[in-house]
Structure 1
Amino acid sequence: MRHILTTLILLSVMSGAKGAESPTNVTYAPADTSATPLGEVSVTAIKHSSSLMRQPVTVTTINQRQIERFNVSGMKGVSEIAPNFYMPDYGSRMTSSIYVRGIGTRIDQPAVGLNIDNIPYLNKNSYDFDMLDVERIEVLRGPQSTLYGRNTIAGLINVYTLSPLSYQGLRFMAEGSLPGAYRAGMGVYHKLAPRLGMSINGYASHTHGYFRNLHNGKHADGTTDFSGRWRTVWRPTDRLSIENVLSAGHSKQSGYPYAYVETGDINYNDTCFYRRTSVTDGLTVRWIGPHFSIASITGLQYLKDNMTLDQDFLPDSYFTLTQRQYDRSVTQDIVIRGNAGNYSWLAGVFGFYKHNRMTAPVTFKEDGIDRLILKNINSKLPEGMELRWNDDEFILGNDFRTPTKGIAVYHRSTLDLGKWTLSASLRFDYEQTALSYHSNVNTSATMYRMMGQAGMIPLLTQEIAIDDYGKLKKSFRELLPNVSVTYNMKNSAVFLSVAKGFKAGGFNTQMFSNILQSKMMAVAGHGEEADVDQYVSYKPETSWNYELGGHFSCDQGRVYSTFSAFFIDVRDQQVTVFPEGDGTGRMMANAGRTRSLGAELTLRYTPSARWRFDLAYGYTNATFRHFFDGHDDLSGKRVPYAPSNTLFLSAAYRMPVRSSMVEAISFCPTLRGTGSIYWDEMNIYRQPFYAELGASIRLEHSRYSLDLWGKNLTDTKFDVFRYESIGNNFFQRGKPLCAGITLRVHIDNI
């Protein structure tokens, strides 16, 4: 109730601000002069070009000035600003879970796609990055599989960086915040010729961390990042453009701030860290003719990372994991567009190849051997018999190679009938994924028997040597239709769309340690081997999305609003579960059927050049319709990890100042709300709705700006993640109150 009252009070303040008009004798720019009116923003430069007001898609666009005003440093900062979009901030930069309208995933392939300057990123491990000189971010919600294919069953994120042909000069930013975080970046934008531009950006950041590991007294979440970008844009003629973007980054983090529920403490003894190095190059060539255009988009990506962690997250010595990945991919998209009168069309071919090599050895240590293996075996032995392990620790070795390839053809036809616009799209998608695995273990155990006064004497030593190879392969074929009808008014549009979404199946590589453990127990004469194919394979996920939405603008553009109501029927939804018992991994499982329904509303109100108000609200009710997990019928339970509500409110006021040092002062309070969130399929654990209050004060000048800002000013306590492992519960707290200062300098036309 307290959060609802806070929201109502802020809304009443916002509605009462309309009377604050600017003095007639003062001339100044509105608060967002850098932004194109939202209704006119093109969704993408290649596959959509007409006004957003005429597009049958629900999208939130965040321009450069809003990114700075809300202090959005990465994709996790977009949460709540886009309704029903949630990217929780927990774990490491490898953790890039995104949930949109109740659909998302925590491991393997994402449910939301990411394009940066039109280049698709296939590995979600690279989704969490710090952004510098981003021109705009577009968040498209609902399945985008027909045009964009892979990993877009829930939506798509488009990120566009600043072009050297649209801006020339030097941009610099530096930021410091408490409790101990620093960022700095610089970009140089220059025209080498009237039609040739080049830019070079560099960025660095460091965060001491917010939480400490009681075992060693060090921060459990410190981070250091470096990145760079080199962009070249050449337009040799009015019809031809060639663009290349090369980016690279390195990130290192100290660990994971997971706390034990029983004590509330972060306290683990083994080393934890995450390291990531990534390189991406994208080449876009586009030719625009009088009746049709053709574009070629080529992407090359390389990612190398190392996740080392204490898997039990306790001061005991159970087991540790070191997972190294070497991921390489190439993508090629060819898009042809044409029009003839009131008919327009688009056709394309997309292909990709992705190869991932992973090594993931799990080291069983003393407590893990005693409590997870020997305790289980010895409880079933006759009295006087006891099994003892001969090694203090042993390694479950795992080596995987996962080549994945695919090709797709797609087409969209659009007929403009004045007030009515009809559109139909179809995509044929083929994907093949394979898994080559090598698992091994080499250890031994000895059986002892009590022999009176002689005590325990050895009877038999069992050598446990397993060297297991295998290959698995799966292919997926899918037709993905999308139809829509749009009714266009003068400054508004209403659309109805039906679209099919698709996400390919794959293999649970994280479960091979459990499989190897079961084989080891079988060799020792206890238990049965797990069926590898059945244990590690999961099926594709498909959805049907039914949506009614609209875009409205009135009062000469001072009011702009979007709305949507949706119903999503999902079959075989891929959900991340933790295996029961003493397993060490996570696995992807298929829920038989789920459904998600909800609504979204955004509202932008600009009563005068001084004031701007924004509201974004999303509601989702996502439940299992048919899901039996092998033990319980979960029908009717809420889908875990996806929030039921997202809320964002902001009020911006810009006051001109007659000073040579400062030209204007801006004030911007914000409110972000999320929840409730269930943490398990049984809906036992839940994070209730919570709200975070933020605020910023900006001093503006034509050449620089200085922001004083704060986040979570009420120091709200909430959890961003919770899970269960080997019978123990762990959670991560949300970040506490923090405040900082950001300086931005831009020197134009150097």
Structure 2
Amino acid sequence: MCLCFLLLTLIGNAGEEYVDSTGYKNYYLQEIQIVSNPKSESKLLEFPASITVFNTRNIEDCRIISLKDLSTLSPNFYVPDYGSKLISSVYIRGIGSRINSPVIGLYVDNVPYLDKSAFDFDFMDIEKVEVLKGPQGTLYGRNTMAGLVNIYTRSPFDYQGTKIRGGYGNGNAWSVALSHSYKVNEKFAFSLNGRYRKDDGYFMNEYTGEKSGTSEVVGGRGQLQWRINRRLKINISSDFEYSRQNGYPYSKYDKFEKRWEKINYNDEASYKRNLSTTSLFVQYTHECFVMSSTSGYQYLKDNMHLDQDFTPLSVFTLQQKQKQNAFTQEVVFKSSAFRNLQWVAGIFGFYSGLRTDGPVNFKKDGISYLIEGQTNTQLSALKVQYPKMPDLSLDIDNYNLYINGTYQTPTFGLAVFKQLVYNNMFTNGLSGTIGLRLDYENSRIKHNTYSTDNLRGNISGQMTVVRPSVIGGDLVIPILIPLDIPLSIEGKERMDMWELLPKFELKYKIGKSSVLYLSAARGYRSGGYNFQMFSNLIQSQIREKIMQTAFYQMPSGIFPEIQVSESMPMRDIIAYRPEHSWNYEIGGHSVFGDNRIFADISAFYIDCRNQQISVVSGYGRITKNSGRSVSKGIEASFRYVPMDNLQFSVSYGFTHACFVSNNDGEIDYKHNYVPFTPKHTLAITGGYSIPVNCSWLDKIDIDLQYLGRGRIYWTELNDVSQPYYELVNGSFSFTKGPFNLKIWGKNIFNRRYQSFYFEVMNAQNLKQDNGFAQKGRPVTFGTDVTIRF
């Protein structure tokens, strides 16, 4: 039975399920523990923060196959589904990230995924997922200022057997998966799994006549686990995934008339990725402490092709190839026995070697509009300003202009941290927590952007020399200035960041069923470099060199007032600074009514400085620091289990995130809403298990979900937005012994909405950007068959 609603509580204390002798599921609330976490061990009811937990049953029955499927199931947790697996934009409580540094940490079996390009992978054999809200920087460090997602895979010591699953749905979507877990003896166990899925997409590219947004994914995972004795555990795991996607289903959207056009672009848009992660986990338990060591290595290699203008014009295309080798190592010590004073301390280090190749190909329309057109417009404007200037025009001979770019961005970091918890402080049930982390990060960039062929062409025109009529009158002199211009930008930059990340908490336990908490914590998000800007910088260099060539060959006195301005340092152009926040939260949660009613509420206030947001820059997006924003809101959830096989749940999140100061020199965005953050999230769910107990059927499970979110503003100007919308999902599941048949549907009423909107330069009208949007996935439905033995 799909128990998504069970996990919609902020603190995740919506209990577990079991199947009794009648064959149907019983729902009940109980205190469960956070497991397999080297840094904390606590009953969820007593956890002094907002956390949502999804267990194995929830993930499988709700068809949660990736991080994006968790969107809205946890209040104020929004992960839009658009583009490709390269894009994993996560927004929590008004803080989010579309490109560059993430705002949440993602850990899989205690191994951090450093780059958000790796966040979107397919789930299989997942034991549980924890979504923690608010800064987690004291224990987890950089890029966890909005929260943390912990994913734990199933242990072969806890589950043995074989599972085969196959499914088919509309859009020619089909999948197969096979997993096997085996405990050899009490000291050694292993597991293996493999998965494959494919679909033909749900959108059509009008220009090519082909489907846009198709996907194909194949992967597998292996685990070896030893429990050598009661003190020592060793786990080795390795996961691999290859994914291939065709097309970014973006279509023009008129924000004034609110009118969609068809997907209609001519060049390739695709994404391919190889992702491999290997880890070693060692845990040693002593009478006085528990020592955990986690070593991780991740290899990512991908290749993205993009029609950057998303129109039938041949303006320019972008290719981005990433190759990353990331190493992480963490050693943690924590107190082993429950005492009034508990502690955890550790050291963490990482290295990420990332090389990005980003060639840009200016095609005939791009050369015509962006180089010739802009330069000729500039020459015409100068003619008005300087009447002595001759009439000039630019003609480019290149049919294509291929700009190659290589960007090496190695990052290195070290951190030490410690946290103390004192229980029963002054009175029974009152606990205080204080923690501090020192974080150092070194980020570098070595960049080389160059044209593989010189820019060739000429500047032509004529200059009139005024002469008396007695000597023949005015003399018209033709002008032809040949161009053969090499293009290159090369250099290197370095950024060092030192951060102190404190945390303070108070928790008061009332009896055995209620907890109140109050917390304050500092978070930060790493600074970095916008190497996406170099295509724009090359365009500027083209225009500058063309103008210089023309000016230097003109007679003196024609441009007496033109002066060469001092250029801005490259670091100031391409770098963005770290983002910082202070998060204040108060909340409580309680279980009552014979453990059949659970309630939770929390309120938060976030003061964010130097907030990093994604903005339009030519035909791409860059990260800039926006000044300051304040985000405040509430999260509340209620769950009721009137009968053992029936439950209801309501979960609501409200976020009011606005700029306090944000001025780009032309527009003041003060009091505007922070883009990409839903103002409201709402989940209403219910589940019912019907025992049948006949010769051919044991039970029927029925699940329904209502998921609502909005309004979402897409731009700093707040001139484009997606109003509140709702999605309805549901399933019927039929079980007989080891066999299960599920019939499912998502977005059952085919709700039409924007999952994403952005703006880019309009080559044909530079004064008005083009707007593009991706429609949300339409109604999808299908059936899954699972066999366990």
Q: Residue 207 of structure 2 corresponds to which residue in structure 1?
A: 215
Q: 2:480 aligns with which of 451, 459, 479?
A: 459
Q: 1:623 aligns with which of 649, 653, 658?
A: 658
Q: Residue 226 of structure 1 corresponds to which residue in structure 2?
A: 218
Give, in angstroms, the shift of residue 376 of structure 1: 1.6
Give, in angstroms, the shift of residue 614 of structure 1: 2.1
Q: 2:69 aligns with which of 77, 86, 109?
A: 77
- State whether residues 601 and 616 of structure 1, in contact with CA within 8 Å, keep that contact through their aligned partners in structure 2: yes
Q: Residue 278 of structure 1 corresponds to which residue in structure 2?
A: 275
Any stretches of 5+ residues in structure 2 without a counterpart? 6-19, 255-259, 384-389, 465-475, 549-563, 762-768
Any stretches of 5+ residues in structure 1 without a counterpart? 1-9, 11-24
Give, in angstroms, the shift of residue 451 of structure 1: 9.2
1:372-426: per-residue Cα shift (whole Å, max 9, x none)? 2211211233474211001011022211000100000000100110310111110
Q: Residue 307 of structure 2 corresponds to which residue in structure 1?
A: 310
Question: 2:749 aligned with 1:714, yes or no?
Answer: yes
CA distance in 1, matches of 2:340, 2:21: 46
- State whether residues 31 and 612 of structure 1, in contact with CA within 8 Å, keep that contact through their aligned partners in structure 2: no
- State whether residues 105 and 148 of structure 2, in contact with CA within 8 Å, keep that contact through their aligned partners in structure 1: yes
How many residues of Structure 1 are paired with residues of Structure 2 in the alignment? 717
Question: 2:25 aligned with 1:30, yes or no?
Answer: yes
CA distance in 2, matches of 1:67, 1:561: 23
Q: Residue 561 of structure 2 corresponds to which residue in structure 1?
A: none
CA distance in 1, matches of 2:149, 2:27: 22
1:38-79: per-residue Cα shift (whole Å, max 9, x none)? 642316521111211222111000111111232211111101
CA distance in 2, matches of 1:298, 1:605: 42
Residues 340 and 712 of structure 1: is their aligned pair in 2 closer, same or farther, counting only changes over 3 Å? closer
- State whether residues 27 and 645 of structure 2, in contact with CA within 8 Å, keep that contact through their aligned partners in structure 1: no
What TM-score, normalized by structure 1, do the two folds share?
A: 0.93
Residues 238 and 457 of structure 1: is their aligned pair in 2 closer, same or farther, counting only changes over 3 Å? farther
- State whether residues 231 and 244 of structure 1, in contact with CA within 8 Å, keep that contact through their aligned partners in structure 2: yes
Question: 2:443 aligned with 1:426, yes or no?
Answer: no
- State whether residues 101 and 527 of structure 2, in contact with CA within 8 Å, keep that contact through their aligned partners in structure 1: no
Bigger radius of gyration: 2
Query: Partner letter of residue 458 of structure 2?
Result: T
Q: Residue 447 of structure 1 corresponds to which residue in structure 2?
A: 459
Give, in angstroms, the shift of residue 341 of structure 1: 3.0
- State whether residues 269 and 314 of structure 1, in contact with CA within 8 Å, keep that contact through their aligned partners in structure 2: yes
Give, in angstroms, the shift of residue 31 of structure 1: 4.3
1:123-178: per-residue Cα shift (whole Å, max 9, x none)? 11111111111111110011111101122110000111111000111011111111
CA distance in 2, matches of 1:197, 1:472: 48
Q: 2:518 aligns with which of 496, 505, 508?
A: 496
Instruction: Give the secondary structure class of the aligned counterpart of 2:487.
Output: strand
1:635-687: per-residue Cα shift (whole Å, max 9, x none)? 10000011111111111000101223321101111101111100100000010
1:87-136: per-residue Cα shift (whole Å, max 9, x none)? 00000010100000010110012101111111110111111111111111
CA distance in 2, matches of 1:45, 1:437: 39
Instruction: Give the secondary structure class of the aligned counterpart of 2:643.
Output: coil
Instruction: Give the secondary structure class of the aligned counterpart of 1:373.
Output: helix
Give, in angstroms, the shift of residue 621 of structure 1: 0.6
Q: 1:269 aligns with which of 259, 266, 269?
A: 266
Q: 1:474 aligns with which of 485, 495, 499?
A: 495
- State whether residues 448 and 456 of structure 1, in contact with CA within 8 Å, keep that contact through their aligned partners in structure 2: no
- State whether residues 322 and 354 of structure 2, in contact with CA within 8 Å, keep that contact through their aligned partners in structure 1: yes
Residues 73 and 109 of structure 1: is their aligned pair in 2 closer, same or farther, counting only changes over 3 Å? same
Residues 92-171 of structure 1 mapped to structure 2, 5 A cutoff: 92-171=84-163
What TM-score, normalized by structure 2, do the two folds share?
A: 0.88
Aligned-residue Cα RMSD (Å) equals 1.9
Q: Residue 608 of structure 2 corresponds to which residue in structure 1?
A: 570
Give, in angstroms, the shift of residue 716 of structure 1: 0.7
Residues 39 and 549 of structure 1: is their aligned pair in 2 closer, same or farther, counting only changes over 3 Å? farther
CA distance in 2, matches of 1:484, 1:300: 34
Query: Partner letter of residue 482 of structure 1?
Result: K
Q: Residue 581 of structure 2 corresponds to which residue in structure 1?
A: 543
Q: Residue 14 of structure 1 corresponds to which residue in structure 2?
A: none
Give, in angstroms, the shift of residue 562 of structure 1: 2.3
Query: Partner letter of residue 429 of structure 1?
Result: D
Query: Partner letter of residue 423 of structure 2?
Result: D
Q: Residue 395 of structure 1 corresponds to which residue in structure 2?
A: 402
CA distance in 1, matches of 2:568, 2:408: 21
Residues 310-459 of structure 1 mapped to structure 2, 5 A cutoff: 310-338=307-335, 341-381=339-379, 382=383, 384-417=391-424, 418-441=428-451, 442-449=454-461, 459=480
- State whether residues 446 and 458 of structure 1, in contact with CA within 8 Å, keep that contact through their aligned partners in structure 2: no
Query: Partner letter of residue 489 of structure 2?
Result: D
Identity rate, percent: 37
CA distance in 2, matches of 1:44, 1:163: 10
CA distance in 2, matches of 1:350, 1:377: 52
Residues 525-544 of structure 1 mapped to structure 2, 5 A cutoff: 525=547, 531-544=569-582
CA distance in 2, matches of 1:73, 1:143: 26
Residues 457 and 38 of structure 1: is their aligned pair in 2 closer, same or farther, counting only changes over 3 Å? farther
CA distance in 1, matches of 2:165, 2:102: 32
CA distance in 1, matches of 2:587, 2:522: 17
Q: 1:645 aligns with which of 673, 680, 701?
A: 680
CA distance in 1, matches of 2:446, 2:692: 66
Q: Residue 555 of structure 1 corresponds to which residue in structure 2?
A: 593
Question: 2:626 aligned with 1:591, yes or no?
Answer: yes
Could you tell which deviates more after superposition, 225-234 or 463-472?
Answer: 463-472
- State whether residues 426 and 479 of structure 1, in contact with CA within 8 Å, keep that contact through their aligned partners in structure 2: yes
Instruction: Give the secondary structure class of the aligned counterpart of 1:199.
Output: strand
CA distance in 1, matches of 2:35, 2:187: 25
- State whether residues 173 and 185 of structure 1, in contact with CA within 8 Å, keep that contact through their aligned partners in structure 2: yes
Residues 615 and 200 of structure 1: is their aligned pair in 2 closer, same or farther, counting only changes over 3 Å? same
Residues 100 and 43 of structure 1: is their aligned pair in 2 closer, same or farther, counting only changes over 3 Å? farther
Q: Residue 739 of structure 1 corresponds to which residue in structure 2?
A: 781
- State whether residues 507 and 516 of structure 2, in contact with CA within 8 Å, keep that contact through their aligned partners in structure 1: yes
Residues 597-612 of structure 1 mapped to structure 2, 5 A cutoff: 597-612=632-647
- State whether residues 670 and 694 of structure 1, in contact with CA within 8 Å, keep that contact through their aligned partners in structure 2: yes
- State whether residues 515 and 532 of structure 1, in contact with CA within 8 Å, keep that contact through their aligned partners in structure 2: no
CA distance in 2, matches of 1:322, 1:706: 43
- State whether residues 259 and 267 of structure 1, in contact with CA within 8 Å, keep that contact through their aligned partners in structure 2: yes
Give, in angstroms, the shift of residue 602 of structure 1: 2.2
1:476-535: per-residue Cα shift (whole Å, max 9, x none)? 111100010001022110100000011111111111111122122211126976642111
Q: Residue 737 of structure 2 corresponds to which residue in structure 1?
A: 702
CA distance in 1, matches of 2:738, 2:261: 48
Residues 456 and 677 of structure 1: is their aligned pair in 2 closer, same or farther, counting only changes over 3 Å? farther
- State whether residues 23 and 698 of structure 2, in contact with CA within 8 Å, keep that contact through their aligned partners in structure 1: no
Query: Partner letter of residue 437 of structure 1?
Result: H
Instruction: Give the secondary structure class of the aligned counterpart of 2:708.
Output: strand
CA distance in 2, matches of 1:342, 1:175: 51
Query: Partner letter of residue 497 of structure 1?
Result: S
Instruction: Give the secondary structure class of the aligned counterpart of 1:607.
Output: strand
